[in-house]
Amino acid sequence: MLPMREEGADAVWSLVVPLKPLVRAKSRLSAAADARFRPRLALAFALDTVGAALECPVVRDVAVVTDDPLAGSQLAELGARIVADVPAAGLNPAIAYGARAVRAVRPAAPVAALNADLPALRPAELERVLAAAAQFPRAFLADAAEIGTTLLTAAPGAELAPAFGGASRARHSASGAREIVLSGVPSVRQDVDTPEDLRVALELGVGPRTARHTAAISAGIAALGAPGALGASGA
Size (the chain), residues? 235
**Can you tell me the distance from the alpha carbon of 185 to that of 133, in angstroms, rounded to the nearest whole number?**
13
pLDDT for res 233: 40
Closest among 98, 85, 72, 89 to 17, alpha carbons compared: 98
- The three-state secondary structure class of 86 is coil
For residue 229, the 8-state DSSP code is T
Closest among 187, 145, 192 to 169, alpha carbons compared: 145
Q: What is the DSSP string of 12-51?
A: -EEEEEE---GGGTTGGGTTTS-TTTHHHHHHHHHHHHHH
Closest among 21, 19, 2 to 11, alpha carbons compared: 2
Pairing of strands 81-83, 138-142: unpaired
CA distances from 28 to 23, 80, 156 (A): 13, 27, 36
Closest among 45, 208, 47, 53 to 127, alpha carbons compared: 53
Closest among 48, 76, 73, 41 to 62, alpha carbons compared: 76
Q: List pLDDT tens digits, range 25-82.
A: 776 665 556 567 788 899 999 999 999 999 999 999 999 999 999 999 999 999 999 9
**Can you tell me the distance from the alpha carbon of 37 to that of 27, in angstroms, rounded to the nearest whole number?**
11
Sign of the dihedral through C-alpha 24, 26, 31, 35: negative
153, 110 Cβ separation under 8 angstroms: yes
pLDDT at 9 over 50: no
Q: List pLDDT tens digits, range 178-234.
A: 999 999 999 999 999 988 899 999 999 999 999 998 865 554 555 544 444 454 443
The answer to whether the pTM exceeds 0.85 is: yes
